[in-house]
């Protein structure tokens, strides 16, 4: 008599929740790392391509850069400012009369003189005008000396001396019978006799 042996059937053991979570986390980490590596590779390739395209070409200025006067680019370079004004006068002419010295209400002493400067001849015309005012041939310019050195030199000059004056053009305001008035004059910084003598200045 043969006795048959029956093996017990064991059911498959289901994976525990902990093992499933670990497997899912590992897969997610692997996928994230792969995605990041792919993005980094694409970025590196794009940077290399951009560098190759711009190799040897001047870089474009940034938003904060300004172009200088010579066409160069400099960050934070201020635009060139306008040059300062210039007021210089140089006269050479005949002294109309001897200089005059006077004292101002403020107590300052000044010396004034008048220099007659000839004008350049007008261009020749084929036909002279029959009527009309004649063109002036000279200008009489008032000169004022404020410094002690220029005052001393001006007082040594004589009428009809040829003099040279350096200074600046000034506009003076003063009150008169007709109200507030103004006049232009040259404030001398240097005066000398053109026929000789040392140049005297401030």
Q: What is the pLDDT of residue 47?
A: 62
Residue 133 has pLDDT above 90, yes or no: no
How confident is residue 175, by pLDDT bands cut at 50, 70 and 90? confident
- CA-based radius of gyration for the chain: 48
Place of tokens 């042996």: 5
Q: What is the pLDDT of residue 135?
A: 78
Model pTM score: 0.52
Residue 35 has pLDDT above 50, yes or no: yes
Residue 197 φ/ψ, nearest 5 degrees:
90, 155
Computed over every residue of the chain, the mean pLDDT equals: 74
Q: Do the strands 138-145 and 179-193 form a parallel or antiparallel pair, or are they unpaired?
A: parallel
Domains, the chain, in order of start with CATH, read 89-120+137-201 (2.40.50.140)
pLDDT digits (tens, 9 = 90+) for 73-96: 455 556 666 668 999 999 999 999
How confident is residue 71, by pLDDT bands cut at 50, 70 and 90? very low
Q: What is the pLDDT of residue 91?
A: 95
């Amino acid at each position: 008599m043969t006795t048959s042996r029956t093996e017990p059937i064991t059911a498959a053991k289901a994976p525990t929740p902990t093992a499933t979570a670990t497997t899912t986390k590992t897969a997610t980490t692997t996928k994230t790392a792969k995605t990041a590596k792919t993005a980094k590779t694409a970025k590196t390739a794009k940077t290399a391509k951009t560098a190759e395209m711009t190799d040897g070409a001047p870089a474009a200025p940034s938003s904060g850069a300004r172009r200088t006067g010579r066409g160069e680019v400099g960050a934070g370079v201020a635009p060139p400012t306008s040059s300062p004004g210039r007021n210089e006068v140089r006269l050479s002419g005949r002294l109309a009369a001897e200089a005059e010295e006077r004292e101002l209400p403020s107590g300052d002493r000044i010396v004034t003189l008048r220099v007659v400067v000839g004008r350049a001849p007008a261009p020749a015309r084929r036909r002279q005008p029959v009527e009309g005012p004649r063109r002036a041939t000279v200008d009489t310019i008032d000169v004022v000396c404020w410094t002690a050195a220029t005052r001393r030199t001006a007082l040594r000059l004589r009428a009809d001396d040829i003099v040279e004056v350096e200074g600046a053009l000034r506009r003076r305001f003063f009150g008169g019978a007709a109200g507030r008035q103004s006049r232009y004059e040259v404030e001398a910084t240097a005066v000398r006799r053109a026929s000789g003598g040392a140049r005297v200045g401030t």
